[in-house]
Amino acid sequence: KRIGYGEGALWKNNNWKLVANLWKPSWGESYRSIATRVGDFAREQVRKHPGEQIVAVTHESPIWSYRHLLETGHAEHNMLLRHTELASITSITYDCKTLRVLSITYVDPAASVK
């Protein structure tokens, strides 16, 4: 079940029960599974396009789960503590030969618009 959108959507129809466990999504796929899927996709693209810049557009949950996994060693997180803004950019640089992550950067180019 989806919570929906809009002011107070979390509190309508007992939707708060869907996020009672902030460490595990209510929609069935675990944060670890999401992060693994994003990582597999990223490494596949790096293998196909070595040395090139690759742009992938995602929703907040997939990129945050993957970034959190890379930075902390685990994908599980409290979804209310995510640090991503609308139109933000997370850049991950890989070594093309080893597929090892070299750096992770985050920018919020629309910060001054808020």
Largest CA distance in the chain: 51
Angle formed at CA 83 by CA 12 and CA 22, multiple of 5 degrees: 45
Distance CA 87, CA 107 (A): 9
Res 97: pLDDT: 96
pLDDT in tens, 42-62: 999 999 999 999 999 998 889
pLDDT of residue 26: 74
What pLDDT sits at residue 101?
Answer: 97
Which residue, 25, 38, 35, is CA-closest to 73?
Answer: 35
State which residues of the chain have pLDDT below 70.
Answer: 1-7, 9-11, 18, 22, 114
pLDDT attached to residue 93? 98
Radius of gyration of the chain (CA): 16
